[in-house]
Amino acid sequence: MVDSFRHKGMRKKLVDELASKGINDARVLGAINSIPRHQFLDTAFVNFAYQDKAFPIGAGQTISHPYTVAFQSQLLQIKPYEKVLEVGTGSGYQAAVLTLLETDVYTIERQRELFKDTKEFLPKLGYNCRFVYGDGYKGLPQFAPFDKIIITCGAPFIPNDLVDQLKVGGRMVAPIGKRDIQVMHLIEKLSATETRITTHGEFSFVPMLNDKNSGNLKV
């Protein structure tokens, strides 16, 4: 699908809207301005791709609001060359943003069809990640520790396994809640045994699914 001047103009308007809502990280805004979000959506939604809305992507999942993607990315305070774990690959849009922030991205997806489709699709657009099919609650201990961890689905609690895989000095951003509305949590790992947790407003995510697999399977 072509990335036209019209699409680029709509992206610029979206970036201006996100800036007006408080997103001020120039690198995050630059990434969103570069990524052709319309190519991540079903053709039925292409004309709405640069509205600040979520859309279905199949398997009961959604592509998040651009503001949500930007907010989580900004809250992580990502630095170039950091190793980042994403829980919930979905469409791959958030992973693309992380890639443009010059990070080494590991991303886990629990829905096999989404995993297969996104693993094939993202590299075609030039966004290269380490794709894993598996249980996000368990993380990827074989690749830990991570500088940053981002959960892109609503978790009922903060997964201890993920906190264990966070580097001391690292940050994890996670929407936590058991219902349709979650509260965004920032978990900062101060030492091997101490964390600081702050909350950053309400958001709405699809639920983080529990384990149907025997473990993390790299495919």
Q: What is the pLDDT of residue 209?
A: 82
* Dihedral sign of CA atoms 128, 131, 136, 140 in order: negative
- Separation of alpha carbons 215 and 219, rounded Å: 12
Tens of pLDDT along 159-202? 999 999 999 999 999 999 988 899 999 999 999 999 999 999 99
Residue type, 92: G
Classify residue 60 by burial, with Cβ atoms within 10 Å: 0-12, 13-18, 19+.
Answer: exposed
CA distances from 211 to 7, 168, 216 (A): 39, 27, 10
Q: Which of 67, 62, 108 is nearest to 85 (CA)?
A: 108
- Separation of alpha carbons 156 and 77, rounded Å: 24
Is residue 98 scored above 70 in pLDDT?
yes
Give the whole-number percent of the chain exceeding pLDDT 70. Answer: 96
Which of 20, 64, 73, 91 is flagged as catalytic?
A: 64
Q: Which CATH superfamily is domain 5-203 in?
A: Vaccinia Virus protein VP39 (3.40.50.150)
**Coil, strand, or helix at residue 61?**
strand
Q: What is the pLDDT of residue 217?
A: 36
Higher-pLDDT residue of 209, 40: 40
Is residue 215 scored above 80 in pLDDT?
no
User: What is the pTM for the complete model shown?
Assistant: 0.94
* Dihedral sign of CA atoms 68, 69, 72, 73 in order: negative
Q: Does the annotation mark 204 as catalytic?
A: no
Tens of pLDDT along 111-147? 999 999 999 999 999 999 999 999 999 999 999 999 9
Q: Where are the domains of the chain?
A: 5-203
Q: Which residues contact 167 (CB under 8 A, 6 or more apart)?
A: 145, 146, 147, 189
